Structure 1
Amino acid sequence: MTDAIKAIILGIIEGLTEFLPVSSTGHLVLAGDLLDFDGDTAVTFKIVIQLGAVMAVLLLYWKKYLNIGVNMLKMDFAKSKGLNAIHMILAMVPALIIYLLFKDTIKSQLFGPKPVLIGLIAGGLLMIFAARSKRTETAETVDGLNYKQAFGIGLFQCLALWPGFSRSGSTISGGLLLGTSQKAAADFTFLISVPVMFGASLLDLYDSRDLLSSDALVLMLIGFITSFIVAMIAVVTFIKLIKRLRLEWFALYRFVLAGLFYVIVIL
Protein backbone atom coordinates (compact mmCIF):
# COMPACT_ATOMS: atom_id res chain seq x y z
CA MET A 1 0.00 0.00 0.00
CA THR A 2 1.44 3.38 -1.00
CA ASP A 3 1.79 6.27 1.43
CA ALA A 4 -0.70 8.28 -0.65
CA ILE A 5 -3.40 5.63 -0.12
CA LYS A 6 -2.58 5.53 3.58
CA ALA A 7 -2.97 9.31 3.70
CA ILE A 8 -6.39 9.04 2.05
CA ILE A 9 -7.52 6.33 4.48
CA LEU A 10 -6.40 8.36 7.47
CA GLY A 11 -8.05 11.47 6.02
CA ILE A 12 -11.35 9.59 5.75
CA ILE A 13 -11.03 8.36 9.34
CA GLU A 14 -10.31 11.90 10.54
CA GLY A 15 -13.26 13.38 8.66
CA LEU A 16 -15.64 10.78 10.11
CA THR A 17 -14.45 10.90 13.72
CA GLU A 18 -13.53 14.54 14.39
CA PHE A 19 -17.08 15.53 15.31
CA LEU A 20 -17.87 12.58 17.55
CA PRO A 21 -16.64 12.09 21.17
CA VAL A 22 -14.65 8.99 20.20
CA SER A 23 -11.20 10.61 19.75
CA SER A 24 -10.20 11.26 16.15
CA THR A 25 -6.53 11.39 17.19
CA GLY A 26 -6.89 8.04 18.93
CA HIS A 27 -8.38 6.53 15.79
CA LEU A 28 -5.55 7.98 13.70
CA VAL A 29 -2.88 6.60 16.02
CA LEU A 30 -4.42 3.13 16.07
CA ALA A 31 -5.08 3.11 12.32
CA GLY A 32 -1.59 4.41 11.66
CA ASP A 33 -0.17 1.53 13.68
CA LEU A 34 -2.16 -0.99 11.63
CA LEU A 35 -1.05 0.68 8.40
CA ASP A 36 2.58 0.84 9.57
CA PHE A 37 2.45 4.62 9.26
CA ASP A 38 4.44 5.95 12.19
CA GLY A 39 7.44 8.07 13.15
CA ASP A 40 7.88 11.79 13.90
CA THR A 41 6.54 12.91 10.52
CA ALA A 42 3.49 10.66 10.93
CA VAL A 43 2.72 12.27 14.31
CA THR A 44 2.77 15.72 12.69
CA PHE A 45 0.63 14.40 9.82
CA LYS A 46 -2.02 13.13 12.26
CA ILE A 47 -2.21 16.54 13.93
CA VAL A 48 -2.21 18.64 10.77
CA ILE A 49 -4.90 16.75 8.84
CA GLN A 50 -7.36 17.53 11.64
CA LEU A 51 -7.38 21.04 10.19
CA GLY A 52 -9.25 19.68 7.18
CA ALA A 53 -12.16 18.54 9.33
CA VAL A 54 -12.01 21.68 11.46
CA MET A 55 -12.40 23.83 8.33
CA ALA A 56 -15.85 22.30 7.94
CA VAL A 57 -16.76 23.71 11.37
CA LEU A 58 -15.48 27.13 10.30
CA LEU A 59 -17.84 27.10 7.33
CA LEU A 60 -20.77 25.89 9.43
CA TYR A 61 -20.40 28.49 12.19
CA TRP A 62 -19.06 31.38 10.09
CA LYS A 63 -21.76 33.80 11.25
CA LYS A 64 -20.88 33.19 14.90
CA TYR A 65 -17.15 33.70 14.21
CA LEU A 66 -17.93 36.85 12.21
CA ASN A 67 -19.96 38.25 15.10
CA ILE A 68 -17.18 37.52 17.59
CA GLY A 69 -14.61 39.06 15.23
CA VAL A 70 -16.67 42.23 14.76
CA ASN A 71 -17.03 42.62 18.53
CA MET A 72 -13.28 42.16 18.94
CA LEU A 73 -12.61 44.97 16.47
CA LYS A 74 -15.02 47.17 18.40
CA MET A 75 -13.33 46.18 21.66
CA ASP A 76 -16.84 45.21 22.76
CA PHE A 77 -16.08 41.92 24.49
CA ALA A 78 -18.10 41.96 27.67
CA LYS A 79 -20.89 44.23 26.47
CA SER A 80 -21.93 41.98 23.59
CA LYS A 81 -24.81 39.65 24.26
CA GLY A 82 -24.13 35.95 24.37
CA LEU A 83 -20.86 34.30 23.42
CA ASN A 84 -17.90 36.64 22.98
CA ALA A 85 -14.13 36.59 22.62
CA ILE A 86 -13.54 36.36 26.36
CA HIS A 87 -15.37 33.02 26.48
CA MET A 88 -13.17 31.73 23.66
CA ILE A 89 -9.93 32.94 25.23
CA LEU A 90 -10.76 31.50 28.65
CA ALA A 91 -11.50 28.13 27.06
CA MET A 92 -8.33 28.03 24.96
CA VAL A 93 -5.65 29.26 27.35
CA PRO A 94 -5.38 26.23 29.71
CA ALA A 95 -4.78 23.65 26.95
CA LEU A 96 -2.44 26.02 25.13
CA ILE A 97 -0.26 26.45 28.22
CA ILE A 98 -0.15 22.71 28.94
CA TYR A 99 0.65 21.95 25.29
CA LEU A 100 3.50 24.46 25.16
CA LEU A 101 4.99 23.09 28.40
CA PHE A 102 4.69 19.39 27.60
CA LYS A 103 4.37 19.10 23.80
CA ASP A 104 7.59 17.08 23.42
CA THR A 105 6.51 14.60 26.10
CA ILE A 106 3.02 14.37 24.61
CA LYS A 107 4.33 13.59 21.13
CA SER A 108 7.00 11.13 22.27
CA GLN A 109 5.11 9.28 25.00
CA LEU A 110 1.38 9.43 24.26
CA PHE A 111 1.09 8.91 20.50
CA GLY A 112 1.09 5.12 20.69
CA PRO A 113 -1.50 2.30 20.85
CA LYS A 114 -1.26 1.62 24.60
CA PRO A 115 -1.70 5.26 25.75
CA VAL A 116 -4.59 5.64 23.28
CA LEU A 117 -6.36 2.57 24.66
CA ILE A 118 -5.99 3.98 28.18
CA GLY A 119 -7.39 7.31 26.96
CA LEU A 120 -10.35 5.63 25.25
CA ILE A 121 -11.34 3.80 28.43
CA ALA A 122 -10.69 6.69 30.83
CA GLY A 123 -12.51 9.13 28.55
CA GLY A 124 -15.46 6.76 28.27
CA LEU A 125 -15.72 6.50 32.06
CA LEU A 126 -15.65 10.31 32.32
CA MET A 127 -18.46 10.58 29.77
CA ILE A 128 -20.63 8.08 31.65
CA PHE A 129 -20.02 9.90 34.92
CA ALA A 130 -20.89 13.27 33.36
CA ALA A 131 -24.01 11.98 31.63
CA ARG A 132 -25.37 10.44 34.84
CA SER A 133 -24.38 13.23 37.24
CA LYS A 134 -27.11 15.26 38.91
CA ARG A 135 -26.75 18.95 38.16
CA THR A 136 -28.65 22.20 37.81
CA GLU A 137 -28.69 23.26 34.16
CA THR A 138 -27.89 26.97 33.85
CA ALA A 139 -26.95 27.26 30.15
CA GLU A 140 -29.35 25.80 27.59
CA THR A 141 -27.58 27.33 24.59
CA VAL A 142 -24.01 28.40 23.88
CA ASP A 143 -25.00 32.06 24.36
CA GLY A 144 -25.99 31.23 27.94
CA LEU A 145 -22.49 30.17 29.01
CA ASN A 146 -20.85 32.28 31.68
CA TYR A 147 -17.10 32.90 31.96
CA LYS A 148 -16.64 30.40 34.78
CA GLN A 149 -18.18 27.64 32.67
CA ALA A 150 -16.05 28.62 29.65
CA PHE A 151 -12.86 28.45 31.71
CA GLY A 152 -13.93 25.16 33.32
CA ILE A 153 -14.58 23.63 29.90
CA GLY A 154 -11.12 24.86 28.91
CA LEU A 155 -9.63 22.96 31.85
CA PHE A 156 -11.40 19.78 30.76
CA GLN A 157 -10.05 20.35 27.24
CA CYS A 158 -6.56 19.77 28.66
CA LEU A 159 -7.48 16.08 28.96
CA ALA A 160 -7.76 15.94 25.18
CA LEU A 161 -4.00 16.43 24.89
CA TRP A 162 -3.87 12.73 25.82
CA PRO A 163 -4.81 10.95 22.57
CA GLY A 164 -7.87 8.80 23.15
CA PHE A 165 -9.65 11.12 25.57
CA SER A 166 -11.25 13.11 22.73
CA ARG A 167 -11.56 16.88 22.67
CA SER A 168 -15.33 16.84 22.22
CA GLY A 169 -15.76 14.02 24.75
CA SER A 170 -13.74 15.88 27.38
CA THR A 171 -15.27 19.31 26.82
CA ILE A 172 -18.87 18.10 26.52
CA SER A 173 -18.42 16.06 29.70
CA GLY A 174 -16.95 19.13 31.39
CA GLY A 175 -19.84 21.26 30.19
CA LEU A 176 -22.40 18.82 31.58
CA LEU A 177 -20.64 18.72 34.95
CA LEU A 178 -20.55 22.53 35.00
CA GLY A 179 -24.26 22.95 34.30
CA THR A 180 -24.60 23.36 30.54
CA SER A 181 -26.92 21.42 28.28
CA GLN A 182 -25.36 18.84 25.98
CA LYS A 183 -26.31 21.03 23.01
CA ALA A 184 -24.60 24.11 24.48
CA ALA A 185 -21.47 22.14 25.37
CA ALA A 186 -21.33 20.58 21.89
CA ASP A 187 -21.73 23.92 20.12
CA PHE A 188 -19.02 25.51 22.28
CA THR A 189 -16.73 22.54 21.67
CA PHE A 190 -17.00 22.93 17.91
CA LEU A 191 -16.54 26.69 18.07
CA ILE A 192 -13.30 26.56 20.07
CA SER A 193 -11.96 23.67 17.98
CA VAL A 194 -11.05 25.96 15.08
CA PRO A 195 -8.60 28.34 16.84
CA VAL A 196 -7.29 25.51 19.05
CA MET A 197 -6.49 23.21 16.12
CA PHE A 198 -5.11 26.04 13.99
CA GLY A 199 -2.76 27.03 16.79
CA ALA A 200 -1.69 23.46 17.60
CA SER A 201 -1.11 22.57 13.95
CA LEU A 202 0.91 25.70 13.16
CA LEU A 203 3.07 25.19 16.24
CA ASP A 204 3.64 21.56 15.35
CA LEU A 205 4.49 22.38 11.75
CA TYR A 206 7.03 24.95 12.92
CA ASP A 207 8.60 22.56 15.43
CA SER A 208 8.79 19.82 12.79
CA ARG A 209 10.01 22.03 9.95
CA ASP A 210 13.28 20.11 9.63
CA LEU A 211 11.36 16.86 9.05
CA LEU A 212 9.02 18.24 6.40
CA SER A 213 10.27 17.11 3.03
CA SER A 214 8.30 17.81 -0.15
CA ASP A 215 6.95 14.23 -0.04
CA ALA A 216 5.75 14.70 3.54
CA LEU A 217 4.01 17.97 2.64
CA VAL A 218 2.26 16.27 -0.28
CA LEU A 219 0.97 13.52 2.00
CA MET A 220 -0.29 16.13 4.49
CA LEU A 221 -2.07 17.96 1.69
CA ILE A 222 -3.71 14.71 0.54
CA GLY A 223 -4.84 13.93 4.08
CA PHE A 224 -6.02 17.51 4.64
CA ILE A 225 -8.16 17.60 1.47
CA THR A 226 -9.60 14.14 2.12
CA SER A 227 -10.58 14.92 5.71
CA PHE A 228 -12.12 18.24 4.63
CA ILE A 229 -14.28 16.62 1.93
CA VAL A 230 -15.44 13.79 4.18
CA ALA A 231 -16.10 16.17 7.06
CA MET A 232 -18.17 18.49 4.87
CA ILE A 233 -20.38 15.53 3.97
CA ALA A 234 -20.66 14.25 7.54
CA VAL A 235 -20.55 17.36 9.71
CA VAL A 236 -24.24 18.35 9.82
CA THR A 237 -25.47 14.82 10.51
CA PHE A 238 -22.84 14.12 13.15
CA ILE A 239 -23.29 17.43 14.95
CA LYS A 240 -27.01 16.75 15.24
CA LEU A 241 -26.21 13.25 16.49
CA ILE A 242 -23.83 14.40 19.19
CA LYS A 243 -26.39 16.90 20.49
CA ARG A 244 -29.12 14.28 20.85
CA LEU A 245 -27.52 10.92 21.58
CA ARG A 246 -26.59 10.26 25.21
CA LEU A 247 -22.87 10.09 25.92
CA GLU A 248 -23.16 6.54 27.27
CA TRP A 249 -23.58 5.21 23.72
CA PHE A 250 -20.34 6.84 22.60
CA ALA A 251 -18.63 5.50 25.73
CA LEU A 252 -19.79 1.99 24.87
CA TYR A 253 -18.32 2.34 21.38
CA ARG A 254 -15.02 3.47 22.89
CA PHE A 255 -14.88 0.41 25.17
CA VAL A 256 -15.59 -1.95 22.26
CA LEU A 257 -12.95 -0.22 20.10
CA ALA A 258 -10.39 -0.41 22.90
CA GLY A 259 -11.07 -4.11 23.35
CA LEU A 260 -10.77 -4.88 19.65
CA PHE A 261 -7.51 -3.00 19.23
CA TYR A 262 -6.07 -4.55 22.39
CA VAL A 263 -6.61 -7.96 20.81
CA ILE A 264 -5.47 -6.95 17.32
CA VAL A 265 -2.57 -4.60 18.04
CA ILE A 266 -1.17 -5.37 21.49
CA LEU A 267 -1.70 -9.09 22.10
Structure 2
Amino acid sequence: MEMIEFIKVIILGMVEGLTEFAPVSSTGHMILVDEMWLKTDLFLGDYVANTFKVFIQLGSIFAVVVIFRARFKKLFTSSKQRKNGHLSWSHIILGLLPAAILGFLFEGFIDEHLFSIETVLVGLGAGSVFMIAADLHQPKEGKETVDQISYTQAFTIGIVQCFSLWPGFSRSGATISAGVLMGLSHKAAADFTFIMAVPIMLGASVLSIFNNLAYFQWSAVPYFLIGFLSAFLFALLSIRFFLKMINHVKLTPFAIYRFLLIVVICFLYF
Protein backbone atom coordinates (compact mmCIF):
# COMPACT_ATOMS: atom_id res chain seq x y z
CA MET A 1 0.00 0.00 0.00
CA GLU A 2 1.46 3.32 -1.08
CA MET A 3 1.38 6.25 1.33
CA ILE A 4 -0.89 8.33 -0.93
CA GLU A 5 -3.41 5.48 -1.08
CA PHE A 6 -3.19 5.09 2.69
CA ILE A 7 -4.01 8.80 3.13
CA LYS A 8 -6.90 8.63 0.64
CA VAL A 9 -8.48 5.71 2.51
CA ILE A 10 -8.21 7.59 5.82
CA ILE A 11 -9.76 10.70 4.26
CA LEU A 12 -12.70 8.76 2.82
CA GLY A 13 -13.28 7.08 6.19
CA MET A 14 -13.14 10.52 7.82
CA VAL A 15 -15.72 11.90 5.38
CA GLU A 16 -18.01 8.93 6.02
CA GLY A 17 -17.67 9.20 9.79
CA LEU A 18 -18.21 12.96 9.93
CA THR A 19 -21.16 13.12 7.54
CA GLU A 20 -23.09 9.86 7.87
CA PHE A 21 -25.23 10.99 10.80
CA ALA A 22 -25.09 14.76 10.39
CA PRO A 23 -27.95 16.18 8.27
CA VAL A 24 -25.61 17.19 5.44
CA SER A 25 -25.86 14.15 3.12
CA SER A 26 -22.95 11.72 3.22
CA THR A 27 -23.76 10.81 -0.41
CA GLY A 28 -23.12 14.35 -1.58
CA HIS A 29 -19.82 14.47 0.26
CA MET A 30 -18.72 11.04 -1.02
CA ILE A 31 -19.31 12.20 -4.59
CA LEU A 32 -17.47 15.45 -3.95
CA VAL A 33 -14.34 13.99 -2.35
CA ASP A 34 -14.05 10.63 -4.09
CA GLU A 35 -15.37 10.92 -7.62
CA MET A 36 -13.93 14.43 -8.03
CA TRP A 37 -10.71 14.08 -6.06
CA LEU A 38 -9.64 10.84 -4.35
CA LYS A 39 -10.54 8.44 -7.18
CA THR A 40 -10.34 5.28 -5.05
CA ASP A 41 -11.64 3.26 -7.99
CA LEU A 42 -8.26 3.77 -9.69
CA PHE A 43 -6.41 1.64 -7.12
CA LEU A 44 -9.26 -0.52 -5.81
CA GLY A 45 -11.23 -1.08 -9.00
CA ASP A 46 -14.83 0.03 -9.61
CA TYR A 47 -16.66 -2.79 -7.84
CA VAL A 48 -14.21 -3.11 -4.94
CA ALA A 49 -14.32 0.67 -4.43
CA ASN A 50 -18.12 0.56 -4.23
CA THR A 51 -17.95 -2.29 -1.72
CA PHE A 52 -15.33 -0.36 0.27
CA LYS A 53 -17.63 2.67 0.52
CA VAL A 54 -20.38 0.44 1.89
CA PHE A 55 -18.09 -1.47 4.25
CA ILE A 56 -16.75 1.62 6.00
CA GLN A 57 -20.34 2.55 6.90
CA LEU A 58 -20.11 -0.33 9.39
CA GLY A 59 -17.51 1.74 11.26
CA SER A 60 -20.04 4.56 11.64
CA ILE A 61 -22.73 2.09 12.74
CA PHE A 62 -20.38 0.63 15.36
CA ALA A 63 -19.81 4.15 16.70
CA VAL A 64 -23.57 4.56 17.25
CA VAL A 65 -23.71 1.24 19.09
CA VAL A 66 -20.86 2.34 21.37
CA ILE A 67 -22.43 5.74 22.15
CA PHE A 68 -25.94 4.33 22.69
CA ARG A 69 -24.83 1.05 24.28
CA ALA A 70 -26.91 1.64 27.43
CA ARG A 71 -29.98 2.33 25.31
CA PHE A 72 -29.48 -0.81 23.22
CA LYS A 73 -28.99 -2.84 26.40
CA LYS A 74 -32.43 -1.64 27.55
CA LEU A 75 -33.95 -2.54 24.20
CA PHE A 76 -32.68 -6.09 24.50
CA THR A 77 -34.11 -6.61 27.99
CA SER A 78 -37.46 -8.32 28.34
CA SER A 79 -40.65 -6.28 28.26
CA LYS A 80 -41.20 -7.08 31.94
CA GLN A 81 -37.90 -5.42 32.82
CA ARG A 82 -38.66 -2.36 30.72
CA LYS A 83 -40.86 0.33 32.16
CA ASN A 84 -43.96 1.40 30.27
CA GLY A 85 -43.46 4.40 28.04
CA HIS A 86 -39.82 3.70 27.20
CA LEU A 87 -38.57 3.47 23.65
CA SER A 88 -39.15 -0.06 22.37
CA TRP A 89 -38.45 -2.17 19.31
CA SER A 90 -42.06 -1.50 18.26
CA HIS A 91 -41.24 2.18 17.80
CA ILE A 92 -38.10 1.35 15.83
CA ILE A 93 -39.87 -1.16 13.59
CA LEU A 94 -42.63 1.35 12.84
CA GLY A 95 -39.95 3.88 11.92
CA LEU A 96 -38.11 1.41 9.68
CA LEU A 97 -40.94 -0.30 7.79
CA PRO A 98 -41.99 2.38 5.25
CA ALA A 99 -38.50 3.08 3.89
CA ALA A 100 -37.52 -0.60 4.07
CA ILE A 101 -40.52 -1.66 1.96
CA LEU A 102 -40.14 1.20 -0.53
CA GLY A 103 -36.39 0.68 -0.77
CA PHE A 104 -36.87 -3.04 -1.45
CA LEU A 105 -39.46 -2.40 -4.17
CA PHE A 106 -37.54 0.36 -5.96
CA GLU A 107 -33.90 -0.55 -5.25
CA GLY A 108 -33.13 -1.22 -8.91
CA PHE A 109 -34.74 2.01 -10.08
CA ILE A 110 -32.93 4.05 -7.44
CA ASP A 111 -29.52 2.55 -8.26
CA GLU A 112 -30.05 2.97 -12.01
CA HIS A 113 -31.64 6.41 -12.21
CA LEU A 114 -31.01 8.41 -9.03
CA PHE A 115 -27.27 8.11 -8.36
CA SER A 116 -25.95 11.07 -10.31
CA ILE A 117 -24.58 14.52 -9.55
CA GLU A 118 -27.78 16.16 -10.78
CA THR A 119 -30.13 14.10 -8.60
CA VAL A 120 -27.90 14.59 -5.55
CA LEU A 121 -28.07 18.35 -6.07
CA VAL A 122 -31.88 18.17 -6.17
CA GLY A 123 -31.88 16.11 -2.98
CA LEU A 124 -29.53 18.51 -1.21
CA GLY A 125 -31.73 21.48 -2.08
CA ALA A 126 -35.06 19.86 -1.25
CA GLY A 127 -33.75 18.45 2.03
CA SER A 128 -32.40 21.85 3.04
CA VAL A 129 -35.77 23.53 2.48
CA PHE A 130 -37.46 20.82 4.58
CA MET A 131 -34.96 21.30 7.42
CA ILE A 132 -35.48 25.07 7.50
CA ALA A 133 -39.27 24.53 7.46
CA ALA A 134 -38.94 22.23 10.50
CA ASP A 135 -37.06 24.90 12.46
CA LEU A 136 -39.58 27.58 11.51
CA HIS A 137 -42.69 25.55 12.32
CA GLN A 138 -41.58 23.47 15.30
CA PRO A 139 -44.01 23.35 18.26
CA LYS A 140 -43.07 25.62 21.17
CA GLU A 141 -42.94 22.73 23.65
CA GLY A 142 -41.26 19.59 22.34
CA LYS A 143 -40.89 16.23 24.06
CA GLU A 144 -37.40 16.32 25.53
CA THR A 145 -36.44 12.63 25.56
CA VAL A 146 -36.76 9.84 23.03
CA ASP A 147 -38.66 7.77 25.63
CA GLN A 148 -41.61 10.11 25.16
CA ILE A 149 -42.03 9.25 21.49
CA SER A 150 -45.43 7.82 20.49
CA TYR A 151 -46.17 5.11 17.94
CA THR A 152 -47.82 7.70 15.69
CA GLN A 153 -44.73 9.90 15.79
CA ALA A 154 -42.44 6.94 15.09
CA PHE A 155 -44.50 5.81 12.10
CA THR A 156 -44.78 9.34 10.69
CA ILE A 157 -41.00 9.76 10.96
CA GLY A 158 -40.70 6.44 9.12
CA ILE A 159 -42.90 7.67 6.29
CA VAL A 160 -40.89 10.87 5.91
CA GLN A 161 -37.70 8.80 5.96
CA CYS A 162 -38.76 7.48 2.55
CA PHE A 163 -37.68 10.81 1.05
CA SER A 164 -34.11 9.95 2.02
CA LEU A 165 -34.13 7.16 -0.58
CA TRP A 166 -33.48 10.04 -2.96
CA PRO A 167 -29.67 10.52 -2.77
CA GLY A 168 -28.68 13.82 -1.22
CA PHE A 169 -31.89 14.37 0.74
CA SER A 170 -30.21 13.00 3.90
CA ARG A 171 -31.76 10.35 6.09
CA SER A 172 -30.92 12.13 9.34
CA GLY A 173 -32.07 15.46 7.92
CA ALA A 174 -35.43 13.95 6.94
CA THR A 175 -36.05 12.06 10.19
CA ILE A 176 -34.88 14.77 12.60
CA SER A 177 -36.97 17.36 10.75
CA ALA A 178 -40.00 15.08 10.81
CA GLY A 179 -39.53 14.41 14.52
CA VAL A 180 -39.32 18.13 15.28
CA LEU A 181 -42.47 18.84 13.26
CA MET A 182 -44.20 16.00 15.14
CA GLY A 183 -43.44 17.56 18.52
CA LEU A 184 -40.10 16.10 19.57
CA SER A 185 -37.15 18.22 20.66
CA HIS A 186 -34.22 18.30 18.26
CA LYS A 187 -32.22 16.12 20.67
CA ALA A 188 -35.00 13.51 21.06
CA ALA A 189 -35.50 13.38 17.29
CA ALA A 190 -31.74 12.98 16.77
CA ASP A 191 -31.55 10.16 19.35
CA PHE A 192 -34.36 8.27 17.60
CA THR A 193 -32.68 8.85 14.24
CA PHE A 194 -29.35 7.43 15.37
CA ILE A 195 -30.83 4.43 17.17
CA MET A 196 -33.09 3.64 14.21
CA ALA A 197 -30.10 3.93 11.85
CA VAL A 198 -28.32 0.89 13.26
CA PRO A 199 -30.62 -1.91 12.04
CA ILE A 200 -31.48 -0.29 8.69
CA MET A 201 -27.88 0.66 7.85
CA LEU A 202 -26.53 -2.65 9.10
CA GLY A 203 -28.99 -4.58 6.95
CA ALA A 204 -28.37 -2.44 3.86
CA SER A 205 -24.59 -2.61 4.29
CA VAL A 206 -24.47 -6.38 4.79
CA LEU A 207 -26.78 -6.93 1.78
CA SER A 208 -24.69 -4.67 -0.44
CA ILE A 209 -21.44 -6.34 0.65
CA PHE A 210 -22.95 -9.79 0.03
CA ASN A 211 -24.11 -8.78 -3.46
CA ASN A 212 -20.61 -7.55 -4.33
CA LEU A 213 -18.69 -10.33 -2.59
CA ALA A 214 -17.64 -11.84 -5.90
CA TYR A 215 -15.57 -8.74 -6.63
CA PHE A 216 -13.77 -8.77 -3.27
CA GLN A 217 -9.97 -9.00 -3.35
CA TRP A 218 -7.84 -10.04 -0.38
CA SER A 219 -5.28 -7.42 -1.34
CA ALA A 220 -7.92 -4.81 -0.43
CA VAL A 221 -8.21 -5.98 3.21
CA PRO A 222 -5.77 -3.35 4.59
CA TYR A 223 -7.77 -0.60 2.86
CA PHE A 224 -11.02 -1.93 4.31
CA LEU A 225 -9.64 -2.15 7.85
CA ILE A 226 -8.10 1.32 7.80
CA GLY A 227 -11.24 2.84 6.27
CA PHE A 228 -13.42 1.11 8.88
CA LEU A 229 -11.27 2.36 11.76
CA SER A 230 -11.15 5.90 10.36
CA ALA A 231 -14.94 6.01 9.91
CA PHE A 232 -15.46 4.64 13.45
CA LEU A 233 -13.20 7.17 15.16
CA PHE A 234 -14.49 10.20 13.27
CA ALA A 235 -18.12 9.06 13.69
CA LEU A 236 -17.55 8.88 17.46
CA LEU A 237 -16.38 12.50 17.49
CA SER A 238 -19.07 13.67 15.09
CA ILE A 239 -22.03 12.06 16.87
CA ARG A 240 -20.98 13.21 20.35
CA PHE A 241 -20.47 16.76 19.11
CA PHE A 242 -23.72 16.78 17.15
CA LEU A 243 -25.83 15.53 20.07
CA LYS A 244 -24.39 18.21 22.37
CA MET A 245 -25.11 21.07 19.98
CA ILE A 246 -28.30 20.11 18.12
CA ASN A 247 -30.77 21.59 20.65
CA HIS A 248 -28.88 24.89 20.52
CA VAL A 249 -28.04 25.37 16.82
CA LYS A 250 -30.94 23.30 15.41
CA LEU A 251 -31.10 22.46 11.69
CA THR A 252 -30.90 25.74 9.77
CA PRO A 253 -27.06 26.11 9.91
CA PHE A 254 -26.74 22.63 8.39
CA ALA A 255 -29.24 23.60 5.67
CA ILE A 256 -27.19 26.69 4.84
CA TYR A 257 -24.06 24.54 4.66
CA ARG A 258 -25.87 22.20 2.24
CA PHE A 259 -26.72 25.14 -0.03
CA LEU A 260 -23.04 26.10 -0.02
CA LEU A 261 -22.18 22.49 -0.88
CA ILE A 262 -24.51 22.72 -3.89
CA VAL A 263 -22.59 25.77 -5.09
CA VAL A 264 -19.24 23.98 -4.65
CA ILE A 265 -20.41 20.87 -6.51
CA CYS A 266 -21.84 22.98 -9.36
CA PHE A 267 -18.60 24.94 -9.62
CA LEU A 268 -16.42 21.82 -9.71
CA TYR A 269 -18.63 19.61 -11.87
CA PHE A 270 -20.36 21.82 -14.42
- TM-score, normalisation: structure 1: 0.90
Q: Deviations over 1:208-249 (max 9, x none)?
A: 122222234443322111111222233312221223212111
Find the counterpart in structure 1 of residue 239 from structure 2. 235
How far apart, CA to CA, are the structure 2 residues paired with 1:110 and 1:48?
A: 21
Matching residue's letter, 1:120: L
SS state of the match for residue 20, structure 1? coil
The 1:238–1:135 alpha-carbon spacing in structure 2 relative to 1, beyond 3 Å, is: closer
Matching residue within 110, 115, 136 for 1:111: 115
**RMSD (Å) for aligned C-alpha atoms:** 2.1
SS state of the match for residue 77, structure 2? helix
How far apart, CA to CA, are the structure 2 residues paired with 1:218 and 1:105?
A: 33
Segments of 5+ residues of structure 2 without an aligned counterpart are none
1:154-165 superposed matches below 5 A? 154-165=158-169
**How far has the Cα of 1:185 moved from its partner?**
0.5
**How far has the Cα of 1:23 moved from its partner?**
1.1
Matching residue's letter, 1:259: V
Find the counterpart in structure 1 of residue 258 from structure 2. 254
Tell me if structure 1 keeps the 8 A contact 2:138–2:180: no
How far apart, CA to CA, are the structure 1 residues paired with 2:123 and 2:94?
A: 24
How far apart, CA to CA, are the structure 2 residues paired with 1:28 and 1:111?
A: 12
Matching residue's letter, 2:133: F
Matching residue within 145, 148, 157 for 1:144: 148
**How far has the Cα of 1:70 moved from its partner?**
0.7
How far apart, CA to CA, are the structure 2 residues paired with 1:216 and 1:160?
A: 30
The 1:224–1:111 alpha-carbon spacing in structure 2 relative to 1, beyond 3 Å, is: farther
**How far has the Cα of 1:136 moved from its partner?**
6.4
How far apart, CA to CA, are the structure 1 residues paired with 2:113 and 2:78?
A: 41
Tell me if structure 2 keeps the 8 A contact 1:43–1:111: no
**How far has the Cα of 1:119 moved from its partner?**
1.2
**How far has the Cα of 1:40 moved from its partner?**
3.9
1:191-202 superposed matches below 5 A? 191-202=195-206
Matching residue within 29, 35, 53 for 2:60: 53
**How far has the Cα of 1:177 moved from its partner?**
1.8
Using the TM superposition, name which of 242-251 and 122-131 deviates more.
242-251
**How far has the Cα of 1:13 moved from its partner?**
0.9
Tell me if structure 2 keeps the 8 A contact 1:186–1:243: no
- TM-score, normalisation: structure 2: 0.89
**How far has the Cα of 1:181 moved from its partner?**
1.5
Matching residue's letter, 1:116: V
Find the counterpart in structure 2 of residue 125 from structure 1. 129
Find the counterpart in structure 2 of residue 96 from structure 1. 100
Segments of 5+ residues of structure 1 without an aligned counterpart are none
